[in-house]
C-alpha cells in the first residue's frame, strides 16, 4: 500500500479537508488513497458493495468549495438516491433490476455541495429492517474486530468502512437504532439527530421513524457534517428548531454541570449482558469525574411492555409500503420470492392490521413520545444507557429461517432493546465507543438528550472524547 494511503487511514475528515484547503494534497490524491484502502481491506469484510471509482475520479477536478471539499465518502445502500447510479436497498430483486436514480435525494445533493467525493455504496440489510448487515442480495458484512460477528445494522457496511479507515466518515440512517447500533459494534461515533433536523425529502416523510446523518471516528466530524446538511427541505412536515450556533462551535465547549440519569438494567426486566452493564457504569464514573451529577434514574415509561408491539406495528406498515415501492419499480406485484422471509413476514403482518390498528399504534406512540420527553422537562439533561443489550452476536444468529421467518426479528428485539424509544420520541441520541470487553469487542454507550438538543450531546461527547480518547483504538486491517 502506498505511503499516503496508509498515512491517511486514521486521519479524520476535518483534517483531510484541511489538507486540501491548505494545498498539501489534492482531492484526487485523497480519493486514490481511499480507493487503495477499500481495495485492500474490503474483500474480507464486504462493507462496500457498489464501487463508483471512475465517476468519483471524474468529479474531483470541479468540486464545490464546501467544508469537506475533496474528502472521500460513501453512501448507504438505502433510500439515498444518487443521480445516474443504482440503489438496491439490500433487495435481490432491485439489485437485479439495476434501476438508476433520475435525480439526487435532497440529502445527497447537500453531501455533494459540502464538497464530498462520493465513491460508492455500503452494505445494508434488506430494506434496513434488522440490526445486522447480511442481506441475501450482497452477503454478510463482517465485524473487523471479530469477523464471525455482526457489525450491527442497518448501517453496518458504513460502520465497517469507517472503523477500518477506508473512509473517515460515511452516510448512515437510523429508523430504530441503525446508526447507533453499528457504531457500538464497530467502536465508532454514531449520532441519531432529532426528527426533522435533516430533511429526508423528497420521497420520504420526516414524521416517520427514520433520520439520516453519518457514522464517524471523531465528534468534530459528526458536528461538521451536521452543520453542512442540516435544515428542512421543501414541504417538510416536521422541522426541528434552529440551533443557537453552529454545531462545530459546541466541540470543546464547556457543557457546565449536567444532571444525568443512568440506566444499567433492562427497563422491561429482560436480560442485559454484564459487559453492557459494566460499560454504562464505567461511563457514569467518567461523567461523574468530569463534574456532572450522575444518578441511577430513568423515565418510567421505558418499562412499558407494550412498547415493542407498538413499534412493530409502525415498522411492519413501513415494510409493506417499501414492498409496494419495489413492485412499482419492478412493474409487477411483489411476491414472497422477491423478499427475504423475515421481511415478507412483516408485510403479511401489516396486511392483517386494520386502519384502526395502525391509528391506535400511532396514537400510543404519540402518548409515549410525550411521556418520555417529560422526563427531560422535569429537569434532567441527559440519559445514559447501553447502546445494545449485549456484545455483537454471531452473524449466524440472524440468518433467515424460512420455517421460522420471524426468528431474526425476535433475535433483533433482544439485541436492540435500547435504541427504538428515541426514534419514537424523535429525540437525538449518540453512541460513543468508551468501552471494550475482555475479548476486545467494542461496547458502546448511548446518551440521549431532549428534543432538538444535539448541542448538549456534542458538548458532552467532545468532553468525553478529550478526557478518555478512543482515536487510538483500531481493529486489525488488511
pLDDT tens-digit map of 389-443 = 999 999 999 999 889 999 999 999 999 999 999 999 999 999 999 999 999 999 9
Task: Provide DSSP, 359-379.
Answer: HHHHHHHHHHHHHHHHHHHTT
277 CB-contact burial (10 Å; exposed 0-12 / middle 13-18 / buried 19+): middle
- Is a pLDDT exceeding 90 seen at residue 206? no
Residue range of the domain that includes 352: 3-467
With cut-offs at 50, 70 and 90, classify the pLDDT of residue 308: confident
- Mean local confidence (pLDDT), 341-348: 97
- Residue pair 89/124 in contact (Cβ under 8 Å)? The answer is yes
Whether 477 is covered by a domain: the verdict is no
Whether 200 is covered by a domain: the verdict is yes
CA distances from 180 to 34, 130, 430, 444 (A): 24, 13, 6, 8
- Mean local confidence (pLDDT), 129-148: 98
161, three cell numbers: 468502512
Q: What is the pLDDT of residue 208?
A: 85
Whether 212 is covered by a domain: the verdict is yes
% of the chain at pLDDT higher than 90? 95
251, three cell numbers: 466541540
- Is a pLDDT exceeding 90 seen at residue 307? no
What's the mean per-residue pLDDT of the chain? Answer: 97
Q: Is the overall model pTM greater than 0.85, yes or no? A: yes
Whether 258 is covered by a domain: the verdict is yes
Nearest-angstrom CA–CA distance, 128 and 343? 10
Which ranges of 437-478 does DSSP label H, i.e. alpha helix? Answer: 454-467
SS in 3 state form for 285-322? HHHHHCCCEEEECCCHHHHCCCHHHHHHHHHHHHHHHH
Query: Using CA of residue 173, residue 176, residue 180, residue 182, what is the dihedral sign?
Result: negative
- Is a pLDDT exceeding 90 seen at residue 2? no
The SS3 call for residue 126 is helix
% of the chain at pLDDT higher than 70? 100
Nearest-angstrom CA–CA distance, 262 and 278? 12
The active-site residue out of 76, 95, 112, 192 is 76
- Is a pLDDT exceeding 80 seen at residue 326? yes
With cut-offs at 50, 70 and 90, classify the pLDDT of residue 247: very high
The active-site residue out of 178, 184, 194, 216 is 178
With cut-offs at 50, 70 and 90, classify the pLDDT of residue 300: very high
Whether 478 is covered by a domain: the verdict is no
With cut-offs at 50, 70 and 90, classify the pLDDT of residue 6: very high
The active-site residue out of 41, 88, 105, 154 is 154
Whether 417 is covered by a domain: the verdict is yes
More confident residue, 334 or 204: 334
Calculate ∠ Cα 353-354-355, nearest 5°.
125
Q: Which residues are within 8 A (CB) of 67 and not within 5 positions of it... i.e. 6 or more apart? A: 17, 114, 115, 224, 227, 228
The CATH code of the domain that includes 83 is 3.90.1300.10
- Is a pLDDT exceeding 80 seen at residue 1? no
- Is a pLDDT exceeding 90 seen at residue 346? yes
Whether 378 is covered by a domain: the verdict is yes
Neighbour count for residue 40 (Cβ, 10 Å): 17
Packing angle of the helix pair 13-21, 27-41 (nearest 10 deg): 150
Nearest-angstrom CA–CA distance, 343 and 340? 6
- Is a pLDDT exceeding 80 seen at residue 343? yes
Provide the 8-state DSSP code for 148. Answer: T
Q: CA 240, 365, 225, 380: dihedral to nearest 10 degrees?
A: 80
Q: What is the pLDDT of residue 214?
A: 99
Nearest-angstrom CA–CA distance, 282 and 276? 10
Catalytic, 154? Answer yes
- Residue pair 214/169 in contact (Cβ under 8 Å)? The answer is yes
With cut-offs at 50, 70 and 90, classify the pLDDT of residue 309: confident
Pairing, β 382-386 against β 442-449: antiparallel
- Is a pLDDT exceeding 80 seen at residue 88? yes
Whether 472 is covered by a domain: the verdict is no
**Cell 443557537 -> residue:** 244
- Residue pair 302/267 in contact (Cβ under 8 Å)? The answer is yes
When divided into structural domains, the chain yields a total of 1
260-269 tens-digit pLDDT? 999 999 999 9
Catalytic, 124? Answer no
Q: What is the pLDDT of residue 127?
A: 97
Amino acid at each position: 500500500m502506498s505511503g499516503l494511503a496508509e498515512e491517511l487511514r486514521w486521519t479524520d475528515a476535518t483534517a483531510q479537508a484541511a489538507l486540501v484547503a491548505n494545498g498539501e494534497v489534492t482531492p484526487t490524491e485523497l480519493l486514490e488513497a481511499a480507493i487503495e484502502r477499500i481495495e485492500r481491506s474490503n474483500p474480507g469484510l464486504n462493507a462496500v458493495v457498489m464501487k463508483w471509482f471512475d465517476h468519483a475520479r471524474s468529479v474531483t477536478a470541479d468540486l464545490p468549495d464546501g467544508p469537506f471539499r475533496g474528502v472521500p465518502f460513501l453512501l448507504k445502500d438505502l433510500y439515498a438516491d444518487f443521480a445516474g447510479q443504482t440503489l438496491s436497498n439490500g433487495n435481490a430483486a432491485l439489485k437485479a433490476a439495476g434501476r438508476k436514480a433520475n435525480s439526487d435525494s435532497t440529502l445527497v445533493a447537500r453531501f455533494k455541495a459540502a464538497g464530498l467525493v462520493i465513491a460508492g455504496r455500503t452494505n445494508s440489510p434488506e430494506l434496513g429492517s434488522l440490526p445486522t448487515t447480511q442481506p441475501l442480495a450482497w452477503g454478510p458484512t463482517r465485524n473487523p474486530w471479530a469477523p464471525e460477528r455482526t457489525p450491527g445494522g442497518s448501517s453496518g457496511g458504513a460502520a465497517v468502512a469507517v472503523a477500518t479507515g477506508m473512509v473517515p466518515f460515511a452516510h448512515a440512517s437510523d429508523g430504530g437504532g441503525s446508526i447507533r447500533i453499528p457504531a457500538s459494534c464497530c467502536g465508532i461515533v454514531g449520532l441519531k439527530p432529532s426528527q426533522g433536523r435533516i430533511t429526508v425529502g423528497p420521497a420520504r416523510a420526516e414524521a416517520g421513524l427514520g433520520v439520516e446523518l453519518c457514522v464517524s471516528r471523531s465528534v468534530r466530524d459528526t458536528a461538521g457534517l451536521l452543520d453542512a446538511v442540516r435544515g428542512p427541505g421543501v414541504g417538510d412536515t416536521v422541522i426541528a428548531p434552529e440551533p443557537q450556533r453552529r454545531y462545530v462551535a459546541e466541540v470543546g465547549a464547556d457543557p457546565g454541570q449536567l444532571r444525568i440519569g443512568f440506566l444499567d438494567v433492562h427497563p422491561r426486566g429482560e436480560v442485559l449482558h454484564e459487559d453492557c452493564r459494566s460499560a454504562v457504569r464505567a461511563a457514569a464514573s467518567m461523567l461523574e469525574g468530569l463534574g456532572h451529577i450522575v444518578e441511577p434514574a430513568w423515565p418510567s415509561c421505558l418499562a412499558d411492555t407494550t412498547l415493542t408491539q407498538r413499534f412493530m406495528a409502525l415498522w411492519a406498515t413501513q415494510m409493506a409500503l417499501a414492498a409496494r415501492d419495489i413492485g412499482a419499480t419492478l412493474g409487477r406485484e411483489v411476491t414472497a420470492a422477491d423478499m427475504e422471509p423475515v421481511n415478507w413476514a412483516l408485510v403479511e403482518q401489516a396486511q392483517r392490521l386494520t386502519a384502526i390498528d395502525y391509528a391506535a399504534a400511532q396514537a400510543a406512540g404519540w402518548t409515549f413520545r410525550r411521556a418520555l420527553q417529560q422526563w427531560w422537562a422535569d429537569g434532567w439533561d441527559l440519559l445514559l444507557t447501553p447502546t445494545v443489550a449485549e456484545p455483537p452476536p454471531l452473524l449466524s444468529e440472524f440468518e433467515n429461517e424460512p420455517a421460522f421467518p420471524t426468528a431474526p426479528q425476535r433475535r433483533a428485539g433482544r439485541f436492540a432493546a435500547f435504541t427504538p424509544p428515541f426514534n419514537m420520541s424523535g429525540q437525538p441520541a449518540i453512541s460513543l465507543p468508551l468501552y471494550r470487553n475482555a475479548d476486545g469487542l467494542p461496547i458502546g454507550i448511548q446518551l440521549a438528550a431532549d428534543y432538538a438538543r444535539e448541542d448538549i450531546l456534542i458538548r458532552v461527547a467532545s468532553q468525553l472524547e478529550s478526557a478518555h480518547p478512543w482515536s487510538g483504538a483500531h481493529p486489525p486491517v488488511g
